Amino acid sequence: MLFLMPALLIGVIFLQIFLAKKRSKWLGLIPPMITLLNSLLMVLGIAVYDGMTGGASVMLIASTFLTSNIPTIVLLGIYFGCREKMKIRSQLDKMNIQDLD
Q: What percent of the chain is modeled with pLDDT above 70? A: 98
Domain boundaries, the chain: 4-100
pLDDT for the residue 31: 95
pLDDT for the residue 51: 73
Mean pLDDT computed over 2-13: 92
Choose between 50 and 16: higher pLDDT.
16
pLDDT for the residue 49: 76
Contact residues for 15 (Cβ-Cβ < 8 A; gap 6+): 31
pLDDT for the residue 80: 96
Cβ count within 10 A of residue 74: 17
Length of the chain equals 101
- Alpha-carbon distance 90 to 13, whole Å? 24
Confidence of residue 99 (pLDDT cuts 50, 70, 90): confident
Summarize pLDDT for 48-92 with one digit per residue, the tens. 776 777 788 888 889 999 999 999 999 999 999 999 999 999 999
